[in-house]
Structure 1
Amino acid sequence: MGLGEMSKDVTMKVTIKLLAMAILGGTMVIWIMMPTSTYKKIWLTSMRAKLGKTTTFGKPGVNLLVYMFPMILLAFLGCIYLHLKKKTSVDQFHSVLERKKRDKFGALRKPLLVKGPLGIVTVTEVMFLTMFMTLLLWSLTNYFYYTFVTITPQSAAVHGDKIKLKRWEARLDSISVRLGVAGNICLAFLFYPVARGSSLLAAVGLTSESSIKYHIWLGHLVMTLVTSHGVCYVIYWISTNQVYQMLEWDRTAISNLAGEIALVAGLLMWATTFSAIRRRIFEVFYYTHHLYIIFMLFFVFHVGISYSLISLPGFYIFIVDRFLRLIQSHNNVKLVSARVLPCDTVELTFSKNPMLMYSPTSILFVNIPSISKLQWHPFTITSSSKLEPEKLSVMIKGQGKWSTKLYQMLSSSDQIDRLTVSVEGPYGPTSTDFLRYSTLGLHDSLVMVSGGSGITPFISIIRDLIYLSSTSTCQIPKMTLICAFKHSSDLSMLDLILPISSEISSFLDIQIKAFVTRETESTHNKNIIKPLCFKPYVSDNPISPILGPNSWLCLATILSSSFMIFIIIIGIITRYHIYPIDQGLNKYTSAYKSIIYLLAISVSVVATSSIVVFSNKKQYCTKNDQVVEGLSPLVTESSPQQLLSQSTSIHYGERPNLNKLLVGLKGSSVGVLVCGPRKMRQEVAKICSFRSPENLQFESISFSW
Structure 2
Amino acid sequence: MKSNAAWQVFFLVVFVGYIFIWAMLPTKVYKNTWTPKMNKNLNSTYFREQGTNLLLFSFPIMLLAVLGCVHLHFKTKSNSPSNWRCFRSMRRPALVMAPLGIVNAVELAFAAMFVVLLIWSLANYLYISFGNLHMHTLGEKVWQAKFRSVSLRLGYIGNTCWAFLFFPVTRGSSLLPLVGLTSESSIKYHIWLGHVSNFLFAVHSVGFIIYWWAMTDQMYLMLQWSSTYLSNVAGVIAFVLSLGMWVTSFDRVRRKAFEVFFYVHHLYVLFVFFYMFHVGVAYLCLILPGIFLFIIDRYLRFLQSRSKSRLVSTRLLPNGTMELTFSKSPELSYTPTSVLFLNVPSVCKLQWHPFTVTSNSNLEPQTLSVAIKSQGSWTQKLYTQLSSFDHLEVSTEGPYGPASSHFLSRESLVMISGGSGITPFISILREIIHKTTTGSTIKAPNILLISTFKNTTDLRMLDLLLPLSGTPLDLSNLQLQIEAYITRETEKPVEDSYKKQIQTKLFKPNPLDSPISPVLGKNSWLCLAVIISSSFVLFLISLGLVTRYHIYPVERRKDNYHYSFKILWDMFLVCASIFVAASVVFLWQKRKISAEEKQIQNVDFAIPTMSPASWLCTMDTELESLPHQSLVQSTKVHFGARPDVKSILLECKGSDVGVLVCGPKSMRHDVAKICASGSAKNLHFESISFSW
Q: TM-score range by the shorter chain?
A: over 0.9
Q: How far off its partner does 1:145 sit?
A: 2.9
Task: Identify the residue that residue 576 of structure 2 maps to in structure 1.
Answer: 603
Decide which of 80, 83, 89 is 2:73's aligned counterpart. Answer: 83
1:22-61 mapped onto 2 (5 Å cutoff): 22-52=13-43, 54-61=44-51
**Aligned counterpart, 2:407:** 434
Residue 629 of structure 1: CA displacement? Answer: 10
Matches of 2:574 and 2:380, distance apart in 1: 41
Q: Secondary structure at the match of 2:244?
A: helix
Give deviations 1:26-80, integer Å, cap 9, x for gaps.
211101111111111111111111122x111111111111111111111001001
Q: Following TM superposition, by how much is the alpha carbon of 1:541 offset from its aligned partner in structure 2, in angstroms?
A: 0.3
SS of 2:654's equivalent?
coil
CA-to-partner distance for each residue in 1:329-349, whole Å, 9 max, x for gaps?
111000000011111111100
- CA deviation vs aligned residue, 1:290-347 (integer Å, no higher than 9, x gap): 1111111111101111211101110100000000000011110000000111111111
Task: Output the aligned Cα RMSD.
Answer: 2.1
CA 1:564–1:12: 2 relative to 1, 3 Å = farther
Contact 1:502–1:640 under 8 Å retained in 2: no
CA separation of 1:12 and 1:575: change in aligned 2, threshold 3 A: farther
One-letter amino acid of the counterpart of residue 366, structure 1: L
In 2, Cα distance between the equivalents of 1:580 and 1:687? 67
Any idea what SS the aligned residue of 2:59 has?
A: helix
Secondary structure (helix, strand or coil) at the match of 2:97 reads coil
C-alpha displacement at 1:124, in angstroms?
Answer: 1.0
The answer to whether the 8 Å contact 1:688/1:697 transfers is yes
The equivalent of 2:247 in structure 1 is 271
Aligned to 1:425: 398
Match of 1:402 in 2: 378
Q: Indicate yes or no: 2:646 matched with 1:679.
A: no
Could you tell me how far 1:632 is from its partner in structure 2?
14
Displacement of 1:638 in angstroms is 4.0
Question: Where do residues 345-356 of structure 1 align in structure 2 (5 Å cutoff)?
Answer: 345-356=321-332
Q: Which residue of 2 aligns with 1:7?
A: none
| SS of corresponding position for 1:269 | helix
CA distance in 2, matches of 1:246, 1:299: 14
Q: Give distance in 1, aligned partners of 2:602 and 2:446.
A: 35
2:418–2:451 contact (8 Å) kept in structure 1: yes
CA contact (8 A) 1:107 1:690 kept: no
User: What's 1:127 paired with?
Assistant: 109
Q: Distance in 2 between matches of 1:302 and 1:567?
A: 22
* 1:596-635 Cα shifts (integer Å, max 9, x gaps): 11100111100110110111111233345568699999xx
Residue 501 of structure 2, aligned match among 519, 528, 535? 528
> Which amino acid in structure 1 is aligned with residue 237 of structure 2?
I
Greater alpha carbon shift after TM alignment, 101-110 vs 185-194? 101-110
Given the superposition, is the C-alpha separation of residues 87 and 627 from structure 1 closer, same or farther in structure 2, using an over 3 Å criterion? Answer: farther
Q: How does 1:686-701 map to 2 (within 5 A)?
A: 686-689=673-676, 691-701=678-688
The answer for the alignment partner of 1:490 in structure 2 is 458
Q: Comparing 522-531 with 609-618, which one deviates more in the overlay?
A: 522-531
Give the aligned partner of residue 144 of structure 1.
Answer: 126
Partner of 1:305: 281
Q: Percent identity?
A: 51
Range that drifts further, 537-546 or 637-646: 637-646
Tell me what 1:4 maps to.
none
Cα distance, 1:661–1:14 mapped onto 2, change above 3 Å: closer
CA distance in structure 2 between the aligned counterparts of 1:573 and 1:563, rounded to whole angstroms:
15
CA distance in 1, matches of 2:362, 2:274: 47
Relative to the length of structure 2, the TM-score reads: 0.93
- Work out whether residues 446 and 480 of structure 1, in 8 Å CA contact, stay in contact via their aligned partners in 2: yes
Deviation of the 1:386 alpha carbon: 0.6
Partner of 1:570: 543
In the alignment, which of 280, 284, 295 is matched to residue 271 of structure 2?
A: 295
Aligned twin of 2:642:
655
Selected match of 2:432 from 465, 472, 496: 465
Shift of residue 432, structure 1, vs aligned partner: 1.3
Which amino acid is the alignment partner of residue 31 of structure 2? K
Tell me if the contact between 2:515 and 2:597 (Cα under 8 Å) persists in the aligned partners. Answer: no
Q: C-alpha distance in 2, partners of 1:478/1:13?
A: 29
Could you tell me which residue of structure 2 aligns to residue 6 of structure 1? none
Task: Map Cα deviations across residues 250-302 of structure 1 (whole Å, 9 max, x no partner).
Answer: 11212110001111111111111012211111111111111111111111101
* Residue of structure 2 equivalent to 1:115: 97
**Structure 1 residue 25: Cα displacement:** 2.2
Equivalent residue runs for 1:160-199 within 5 Å: 160=136, 162-199=137-174
Between 449-458 and 400-409, the greater mean CA deviation after superposition = 400-409
417-426 or 471-480, which deviates more: 471-480
Q: Is 1:513 paired with 2:488?
A: no
Which range moves more in the overlay, 108-117 or 188-197? 108-117
Q: Are the equivalent residues in 1 in contact too, given 2:177–2:402 (CA < 8 A)? A: yes
What is residue 67 of structure 1 aligned with on the other side? Answer: 57
In the alignment, the residues of structure 1 paired with residue 553 and residue 24 of structure 2 have an alpha-carbon distance, to the nearest angstrom, of 34
Partner letter of residue 534 of structure 1?
Answer: F
Kindly tell me: are residues 82 and 102 of structure 1, through their superposed partners in 2, closer, same or farther at Cα, counting changes over 3 Å? Answer: closer
How many residues are matched?
A: 669
Aligned ranges 1:205-604 → 2 under 5 Å: 205-238=180-213, 239-411=215-387, 413=388, 416-438=389-411, 445-471=412-438, 472-507=440-475, 508-523=478-493, 525=498, 527-604=500-577
Distance 1:410 1:41 in 2: 67
Q: Deviations over 1:371-422 (max 9, x none)?
A: 00001000000001111110111011011110011112334x3xx2100000
Q: 1:228 to 1:666 in 2, by over 3 A?
A: same
TM-score by length of 1: 0.92
One-letter code of the match for 2:196?
A: L
SS of residue in 1 equivalent to 2:513: coil
User: How many Å separate the matches in 2 of 1:650 and 1:631?
Assistant: 32
Pick closer, same or farther for the CA change 1:344–1:623 going to 2, 3 Å: closer
* Counterpart-to-counterpart distance in 1, 2:6 and 2:69: 14
Q: CA deviation at 1:583?
A: 1.3
* Contact 2:312–2:508 (8 Å) recurs in 1: yes
Structure 1, unpaired ranges of 5+? 1-9, 439-444
Give the distance between the partners of 2:565 and 2:398, measured in 1 at CA: 36
